[in-house]
Amino acid sequence: MMRRTNWKVSPSTWDCIFRLFLGLLAFIPLRLAAQDSEPYVSADGSVTFTLHAPGAKKARLILGDRKYKMEQQGDNFTYHTVPLSPEMYTYEYVVDGRVMADPKNSRVTRDVEKRLNYFFVAGGMADHYVDKDIPHGTLSKVWYPSTLNGMSQRRLCVYTPPGYDDHPEEFYPVLYLLHGSGGDETTWADGGRVCQILDDLIHTDSIKPLVVVMPNGNIELDAAPGESPYMDKLPSGNNVNSMVGKFEKLFVKEIVGFTEKNYRVRKDKAHRAIAGLSMGGLHALFISLNHPQLFDYVGLFSAQTSNMLTEQRIYKIERFNYNRQRIRNIAALIGDRIPAPISLSDKLSCLDIYENIEQKLAQQFSPAPRLYYMAIGRDDFLNKMNSQYRSLLASHGYPYTFVSSEGGHSWENWRRYLVDFLQRIFYP
């Protein structure tokens, strides 16, 4: 016969158990923080990467656009960098030929179709990019009615500054901020760290509070990939269809119109700015050029300053993409998969937005915008195109501000340009 034992726990014992439980709870976030701290950044800015990959034969680190061989120590692979300058860095691993993310780092950003881990080397410009315990603005993802490319609605992101909802009587200046080829409405908030930058500059009184509108300039997608209930399509860096004038033609009517109807923004030229990177620079250049009465501040970051896509070139590119997709669809049918719809564009009538540039410049610079800002890296592949455009401006005596920096076509530069541009706009 089993004897039943009644266990009694003293209050002091319960107190010990409770303290132990609290200690375990405190230990869990510490462990998560330790995982999130990978890779390890030393005080001098050098960085140690450690990857646990049992059974792997070799591993490489891709840091930015450079590859480094990692040293193997049993099941671990390591690489130690030289001291790096303060910045936000992206990276990934290649293990036995297979690209993989860092399993110890939950910080992930997207660049076109790729998802990359990231980390910060503190100090300098990077201090604008990190999350801080300061008042934060609000980033809203909003659907707006649109007829672009046969759609009924599209999505954009809107940053409203801290205190926007608390002061319904206040109206704000507005910046329309455009992404590059392969990007979408989330790109500036993701890789560009625009919310952290704005929060920081507003908090330190470096800029006036403003509204920032970030539309999706990829006319093939209504929203960021994976975030649309209407279509499932991956972005492409070769975004030719978004450079045929369609986006620029409808920008003022649909995006500016929606913004001014639904947000408390100032509706005069002196309180409107437009800026963009790469393809977004192309869009910003020609939107402002075709609407000289609207924007007093124009920012071109590593911009494509000339649209060299004639109707003939566009047709050739689309014919190539059409035939390539046909081959892919044949392979899909063989593999019992659903083929993707394909078509050739028959709407090239919007190309006139890129024509008569000198006549339009004469209107835009009479009078000149308060700020016409151009910035590009010395190693950027668009440098020659930018130089030619600056020569055109100079030949007519049109004033502009030019910033030349180290590096190339990269987020390291675009974030820096944005910080600089923001501190130059909406001031007397």
- In percent, how much of the chain has pLDDT > 90? 71
User: Residue 410: its pLDDT value, please?
Assistant: 95
- Grade residue 315 by pLDDT with cuts at 50, 70 and 90: low
Beta bridge partners of 276: 178, 300
DSSP class per residue in 346-382: ---GGGGGGS-HHHHHHHHTTTPPSEEEEEEETT-TT
- Who wins on pLDDT, 231 or 306? 306
| CB burial string 31-45: b at 16+ within 10 A, e below | eeeeeeebbebeeeb
- Grade residue 330 by pLDDT with cuts at 50, 70 and 90: confident
User: Residue 112: its pLDDT value, please?
Assistant: 76
Between 61-65, 281-285, 305-309, the lowest mean confidence (pLDDT) is in 305-309
| 161 CB neighbour count, 10 Å cutoff | 21
- Grade residue 332 by pLDDT with cuts at 50, 70 and 90: low
Residues 378, 72: Cα–Cα separation, whole Å: 37
Beta bridge partners of 223: none
- Grade residue 30 by pLDDT with cuts at 50, 70 and 90: very low
User: Residue 349: its pLDDT value, please?
Assistant: 62
pLDDT at 128 over 50: yes
User: Residue 350: its pLDDT value, please?
Assistant: 77
Residues 250, 58: Cα–Cα separation, whole Å: 51
User: Residue 5: its pLDDT value, please?
Assistant: 36
pLDDT digits (tens, 9 = 90+) for 211-243: 999 999 999 999 998 888 887 776 666 677 788
pLDDT at 1 over 70: no
pLDDT at 336 over 80: no
CB 206 within 8 A of CB 170: no
Between 202-211, 287-296, 299-308, the lowest mean confidence (pLDDT) is in 299-308
- Who wins on pLDDT, 18 or 286? 286
Residues 289, 255: Cα–Cα separation, whole Å: 17
- Grade residue 187 by pLDDT with cuts at 50, 70 and 90: very high
List the one residue out of 87, 90, 112 whose CA is nearest residue 101.
Answer: 90
CA 26 to chain centre: 35
pLDDT digits (tens, 9 = 90+) for 52-88: 999 999 999 999 889 999 999 999 999 999 999 999 9
- Who wins on pLDDT, 353 or 197? 197
User: Residue 427: its pLDDT value, please?
Assistant: 85
**Burial degree of 98 (CB within 10 A; 0-12, 13-18, 19+):** exposed
Helix/strand/coil for 118: strand
User: Residue 58: its pLDDT value, please?
Assistant: 96
- Who wins on pLDDT, 34 or 189? 189
pLDDT digits (tens, 9 = 90+) for 364-412: 999 999 999 999 999 999 999 999 999 999 999 999 999 999 999 999 9
User: Residue 8: its pLDDT value, please?
Assistant: 44
Average pLDDT, the chain: 87
User: Residue 346: its pLDDT value, please?
Assistant: 45
pLDDT at 306 over 90: no
- Who wins on pLDDT, 346 or 125? 125
